[in-house]
Structure formats: structure tokens, C-alpha cells
Structure 1
Amino acid sequence: MNEAPESRGSQDRRTAILEAAWQLIAERGYHHVRVQDVARICGTSTGTIHYYFPGKDDVLREALRYCVDQAFERQGSILRQIDNARKRLLALIEMQLPSGVQIRNEWSIWLQFWSETCLNLDLRPVHNDFYARWMDAVVSIVRRGQRQGIFRDVDPVVFARLLTSATDGAAIKILTGAPGMSVDVMRNMLVSIVDKELALTPSPV
């Protein structure tokens, strides 16, 4: 009985550390965040940070996981409220557009996760698990639309590869300032892919 408040307090402190760390990573870059910076934002000591995460790499890697997990949970809670598969897929697309600070920061985390995964084999299982969840979300919606009779009989996995790759590529171009790519262009491109590949008949946006 006496352990519950203490356990909740410990979990709250751990969450506060991860919140601070992922925001700093998004703003400054993975290799420019120090444990001292995280401690300062949390109003605590570096010793407290190391109590929960033995080393700097542990803090940063867990912060990456935390950020992506939070994004999946937020998106999932919204999508579950939408029954129509096309509307659900368009809502998923809308949530991927790097149009606000929160989403742009999450995309910054993704970009850095990719970079670190290229060099660090230990991160690949984590990265691949997240990517499988991203793919599964699209596959599930396509199958839903096929059951509802509003999507064509295409291979959901092949479509998911197409849509996720197009989403990633467009977002990278936006975040890196590539000419000719904007949030509106990205949205129109992805919706066009949905209608071209899935719609029984052309549908309005």
C-alpha cells in the first residue's frame, strides 16, 4: 500500500526526464544534448538523471523511444474514433504533415533516429519495430476499407510501403527546405496516392 505513491512519483520523474530529453534532441540534435541540460530543465541533478538512466546514451535512446511511442498513442486514440476507412486514412495523413511545432519536432526525432540507426546496429530492432507499427497502421486501415467496400482489392502491404515511403520522403524534403515541397504539396500528393491506388471511383478530398 505504501509503495504506490512512491512508485507513481518515480514514474513521473522518469517521464519528466524523457520529455525534457526528447525536446532537447529535437531542438539541438542528438549529439548536442548533455545530461546537465536535461537536469537543468527538470530542475534536478545529474545524479538523479543517472539514477534512472546509467549513461547519456541511455537517456537519449530512451527519449527517442518515448517520443515515438507517444506519437503512436496519440494518433491511435484519434484514429479509433473514425469508422470510415478513407476518412481514417486521410486523418492519418493529416497527422503526419509537419505543419506545427509538435509534429515538426517529432519528425526531427525520426530523422535523427534514422541517422543513428544507420550507424548503431543496436538501435535497428527498435527502429524496425516502430516502422512495423507504422506499416501495420496503414495495412489495417486498407483492409478495413476493403471490408467496407470503399477500397479496391489491392495488396495492403504493397500500398503501405508506397504510402509510408512517400510520406517519409516528402517530410524529409520539407524539414530540409527542399525547393518545391511544402505541407500543402505533401498533403495533395499523399491524398492523390490514396485515390489513385485505392478508390473504387475518384473521391473528393
Structure 2
Amino acid sequence: MKKKEEERKKQIMKAAYNAVSTLGYDNVTLQDIADYANVSKGVVHYYFKSKQNILSELLESITNQIYSYEIEAVNQHQNAIDKLKAYLDAVFISPPKNKKFYSVYLDFLAQANGNEEYKKINLNFYENCWNIGQEIVELGIREGVFNEELDSLTTAKMMRAIIDGSLIQWLTSNEEGLHQYYKDACMKSILKLLN
């Protein structure tokens, strides 16, 4: 029974992600989420108290999935440069996936100012990202490939700022073909920061 409930909850969360990515955060309703999940609104209410409840869980779920994917990719490599490349490959996953994630994520960020729960989830996501960056920076310093005077936390924060800034610029350029350009420019900028 529990497995079936978990599957149903996942189905609703996936529907919420698709609904927000298509309709936008402000426009999506519980009925839209139910329609995307092919269930009744009552079924959605059974698993989630409110639209806010679904969307909070959605933000936490998608940021945790992104982090898990990134850390798994990074952990498959031994040296700092390979870890950095794997990190960027994991972040710049594909134009459709990046477009969907950043469209939804930016909608959530626009709400975060008045929502303490979103702020907390977002800070947790960034702390996870900074940990990945710090690990890469500290390893690169030990290997002698990055500037030994770098502060690893500050550098990790700037790395993520460059990554997200690059992807947001790519998204707003509305040119899918520039995805690789922004990924390459991002890598060059990060390497400059590290040297």
C-alpha cells in the first residue's frame, strides 16, 4: 500500500512540475495539477494539504534531484579538472531540461522574498552546490592546479553565480543553439577565477 501511495505522490509532483513549467507559478491551480496528473482534485487534496504544500515539496524535490545528479557526476572523477568538467556537464545537462528547470526555478525565486520556506529550501540547495565547488577548489589547490590563495567557500559561491548567471542568460536569449556557447564560456570564466 505504501509503495502505491509513494508512486501516486510522485505522479502528482511530476504533474505539478509540468504544470508550473507550462502555465507559470502564478497561474497554476490545484485543478491544473490534478489534470496534468490525470487524477481528481480530491486525490491531490488527499496527498497534499494545499497548493502551497505541493509547491514547497516540489521545490525541495527538484533542487535535491539536481544536487544528487551533480554530486554523483563529480564523485565519478578523481582530479579537480575532471570533477569541474563533470560538474558543468551535470549542470548544463541539455537545452530542454535546463529550460524546464530554470523556468520553474526562476518562478520559485520570484516568490522567495515573501516565503520563508522557499528561502530555506533555496539556501539548502546553494549550500549543497557550494560544498561541491569547495571540494573541487580545495582538491585543485592540493593538486597545484588552482591558485593556492583562493578562499574555497567564496570561490565556490562565485562558481555557482557564474553557472546560474550563464544559464539564466542562455534561457533569456531564447536561442537553444547557444547552450554550448554558454557552457564553454562558463568553463572559461570559472577557470580564470580558479587561476
TM-score higher than 0.5 here?
yes
- Structure 1 residue 98: Cα displacement: 6.8
Which one of 144, 147, 155 corresponds to residue 149 of structure 1?
A: 144
Q: With structure 1 as the length reference, what TM-score do the two structures score?
A: 0.84
How far apart are the structure 1 equivalents of 2:2 and 2:94?
37
Q: With structure 2 as the length reference, what TM-score do the two structures score?
A: 0.88
| SS of structure 1 residue aligned to 2:173 | coil
How far apart are the structure 2 equivalents of 1:29 and 1:168?
20
2:189 alignment counterpart: 193
Runs of 4+ aligned structure 1 residues displaced above 6 Å come to: none
Would you say how many aligned residue pairs link Structure 1 and Structure 2? 193
- Structure 1 residue 104: Cα displacement: 1.5
Partner amino acid, structure 2, of 1:157: L
Which one of 99, 102, 111 corresponds to residue 104 of structure 1?
A: 99
Structure with higher Rg: it is 1
- Contact 2:69-2:90 at 8 Å conserved across structures: no
Cα deviations by residue, 1:23-76 (Å, 9 ceiling, x for unpaired):
221222111212122222322211111111111111122112211111112222
1:115 alignment counterpart: 110
- Structure 1 residue 193: Cα displacement: 2.4
How far apart are the structure 2 equivalents of 1:142 and 1:184?
24
State percent identity of aligned pairs: 25
Which one of 60, 79, 88 corresponds to residue 83 of structure 2?
A: 88
- Contact 2:18-2:36 at 8 Å conserved across structures: no
195 and 123 in structure 1: CA distance in 2 versus 1, 3 angstrom threshold:
closer
How far apart are the structure 2 equivalents of 1:27 and 1:86?
37
Unaligned runs of 5+ in 2: none
Cα deviations by residue, 1:120-140 (Å, 9 ceiling, x for unpaired):
233211111111111111111
2:25 alignment counterpart: 30
How far apart are the structure 2 equivalents of 1:195 and 1:173?
19
- Contact 1:53-1:59 at 8 Å conserved across structures: yes
How far apart are the structure 1 equivalents of 2:50 and 2:190?
44
Cα deviations by residue, 1:132-183 (Å, 9 ceiling, x for unpaired):
111111111111222333323111112112211122222222212279x932
102 and 163 in structure 1: CA distance in 2 versus 1, 3 angstrom threshold:
same
Cα deviations by residue, 1:56-115 (Å, 9 ceiling, x for unpaired):
111122112211111112222222111121111122123323742112211112211211
1:21 alignment counterpart: 16
- Contact 1:98-1:104 at 8 Å conserved across structures: no
